[in-house]
Each structure stands twice: as structure tokens, then as C-alpha cells.
């Protein structure tokens, strides 16, 4: 019998599979088609201080082995999430959830984290400093080690829950940014967010997406995500939640060997609503195939020797 359990900063998970923010709503939508309590946990929809309608449409462009989105953090705002979304989630999910938080200033990050820190249902605060789909916010904090450290320090000052900083791949040196977050007190790193991409419509000769560019995700970015997780694992001592193009149980094992403790599944949920369920059910078979008895034993295993 294989052991799929992992631990993220004291949060014990039955397995490492975590639907990524923005691809799983607030969970109860997926609870209509399967029991989401089989998940390790999940990261709910990116939440900001105020309600956001998001970016103008069209927001989605298809790509070979992936997609580009520019939704722009559409959400009801943190107060509405606490008042309306979390009670609905509690009816269908009996585990602690990851709260994904975005902002356009350090004060906004602090405000949201302070609010959600008080919620018993929240096990980890995932601070997104890497969204490529909004202007003058999000990714701007994640492209500088100094700014990333400042956000981390400010959030840690008002929270008791573990704080994981979600990093952008759209940088020259992701390792220095991860280290700055660790030095500022981050409990973990989530990586990577989407890459910046675009498509052009040959008929109109204009960008497909109204915002021109958006976040490229899907299986095509898996090798990039894997490489970055591998690099950061060598540089920090805090746990990593790896993500980016994960679609199979084999991908999960590969990501953990690179250094991830938890593994988020993003775009795959938008293509196949049962993606996470299928991966969880297939994980024991893949572990047995590769003579893996416990997932905890393989974290960072590719760095040995």
C-alpha cells in the first residue's frame, strides 16, 4: 500500500494534488460532479480587496498544447468571499483551503491577508505577486526581488497562517526572487504562474485577446515550470508548491522529484473537469510502477547523486 500523504507547513494533505487558483472557482461548482474531499486541498479563485469585473472580452485564446487567458482577476472582493463563498464551500469541503490573494498595492495585500487570516477554513495564504493579466499590479511585485520581499514582510506582519508567495516565470532570475521571499519570512513558494503570451487573428490581423496579451498555460509550459522548481529547490529551505502544465500522475511525480511538496493542476481542469480526480486515482499505480512507497521520500529526489 503506497503512502500519498504530504505536509505543507503543518497542513497535512492526503495527497499532493491541489487544483490551482482560477481553475476551480470556489470549489462547490466542481462538488456537483464529484466529491472534492478526495483532493489534497485547493486554491480558490484569486481574491482582491474590492470586487472586480475583470478584463474586457475576448479573454481566451486557444493554443497548441495550451491556452492564453486574460480574465483579469474577476472576483466578488474579499468581504463577499468571506460572507458568501466560504459558507457555501464549507457545505461541500471538510478540509482547510488555500486562499489565493492578489492586490494592486502592499496595503491591499495586507488588508486581504489580515481578513482571511481570521477564517478557520483557510489553511494557507497564497499571495499572488505574479498575475500577468492586470495593469499596474500583480506581476509588478513579482518581477523584483526587493518588491517581492517587501510584500512578503508586510503580509507576514499581520498573519499567523503560513504564507506562500506565488512567483512569476516572466523574470530573468526567479531564484533571487524566491530567496528574497524566504529571507522576508515566507513559509513557502508557489510556482509558477502563467507565462506571458499572445495570439493574432489572421482574418482581422489583430490580437485575439482584447487585452492583447495574457497568461499562457497548459502542458506546453511544463518543462519550464519543472526547470524553475528544480532551480529554486536548490536555493531555498522552505517548501515549494509546483505547478505549470501538470496533466498526469507522471507529471506529479516528476514535479516532486524536482523539489515540489505539493502539486497544483491548473489549465487541465478547464479542459477536463475530472482532471484532478483522475490524477489522484492514477497516482498509486504510477507510484507502484516506479517503486515509490511514500511520496514524502521522493521530494527533491532528482537532486541526489
Give SS3 for 61.
strand
User: In terms of Cα–Cα distance, which of 195, 73, 86, 75 is closest to 135?
Assistant: 73
Q: How far apart are CA 93 and CA 224, in angstroms?
A: 32
Q: Can you read off the three cell numbers belonging to residue 132?
A: 500577468
User: In terms of Cα–Cα distance, which of 118, 123, 119, 117 is closest to 96?
Assistant: 123
- 113 is a catalytic site residue: no
Q: How far apart are CA 77 and CA 65, in angstroms?
A: 32
Residue 197 near residue 169 (C-beta atoms within 8 A): no
Q: How far apart are CA 27 and CA 93, in angstroms?
A: 8
Q: Which residues contact 150 (CB under 8 A, 6 or more apart)?
A: 106, 141, 184
Q: Can you read off the three cell numbers belonging to residue 233?
A: 529547490
Lookup result for grid cell 516532486: 256
Peptide bond into 58 cis (omega under 30): yes
Q: Which of 113, 131, 181, 276 is catalytic?
A: 131
Q: How far apart are CA 170 and CA 143, in angstroms?
A: 7
The DSSP call for residue 173 is -
Angle, helices 145-156/174-183, rounded to nearest 10 degrees: 30
Residue 142 near residue 151 (C-beta atoms within 8 A): no
User: In terms of Cα–Cα distance, which of 2, 131, 109 is closest to 54?
Assistant: 131
Q: Can you read off the three cell numbers belonging to residue 83?
A: 460572507
Catalytically active residues, by annotation: 131
Amino acid at each position: 500500500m503506497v503512502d500519498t500523504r504530504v505536509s505543507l507547513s503543518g497542513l497535512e494533505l492526503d495527497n499532493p494534488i491541489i487544483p490551482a487558483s482560477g481553475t476551480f472557482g470556489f470549489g462547490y461548482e466542481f462538488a456537483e460532479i464529484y466529491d472534492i474531499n478526495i483532493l489534497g486541498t485547493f486554491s480558490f479563485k484569486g481574491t482582491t480587496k474590492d470586487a472586480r469585473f475583470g478584463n474586457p472580452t475576448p479573454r481566451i485564446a486557444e493554443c497548441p498544447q495550451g491556452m492564453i487567458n486574460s480574465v483579469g482577476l474577476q472576483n466578488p472582493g474579499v468581504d463577499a468571499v468571506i460572507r458568501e463563498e466560504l459558507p457555501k464551500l464549507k457545505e461541500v469541503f471538510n478540509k482547510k483551503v488555500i486562499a489565493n490573494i492578489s492586490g494592486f498595492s502592499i496595503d491591499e495585500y495586507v488588508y486581504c491577508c489580515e481578513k482571511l487570516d481570521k477564517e478557520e477554513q483557510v489553511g494557507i495564504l497564497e499571495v499572488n505577486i505574479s498575475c500577468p493579466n492586470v495593469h499596474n499590479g500583480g506581476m509588478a511585485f513579482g518581477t523584483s526581488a526587493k518588491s517581492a520581499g517587501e510584500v512578503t514582510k508586510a503580509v507576514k506582519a499581520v498573519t499567523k497562517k503560513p504564507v506562500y508567495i506565488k512567483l512569476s516565470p516572466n523574470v530573468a532570475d526567479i531564484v533571487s526572487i524566491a530567496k528574497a521571499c524566504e529571507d522576508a519570512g515566507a513559509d513557502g513558494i508557489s510556482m509558477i504562474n502563467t507565462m506571458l503570451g499572445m495570439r493574432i487573428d489572421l482574418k482581422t490581423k489583430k490580437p485575439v485577446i482584447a487585452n492583447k496579451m495574457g497568461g499562457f498555460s497548459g502542458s506546453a509550459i511544463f518543462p519550464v515550470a519543472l526547470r524553475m522548481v528544480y532551480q529554486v529547490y536548490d536555493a531555498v529551505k522552505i517548501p515549494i508548491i509546483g505547478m505549470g502544465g501538470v496533466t498526469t500522475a507522471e507529471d506529479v511525480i516528476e514535479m516532486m522529484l524536482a523539489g515540489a511538496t505539493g502539486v497544483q493542476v491548473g489549465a487541465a481542469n478547464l479542459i477536463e473537469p475530472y482532471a484532478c480526480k483522475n490524477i489522484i486515482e492514477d497516482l498509486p499505480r504510477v507510484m507502484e510502477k516506479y517503486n515509490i512507497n511514500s511520496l514524502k521520500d521522493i521530494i527533491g529526489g532528482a537532486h541526489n547523486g
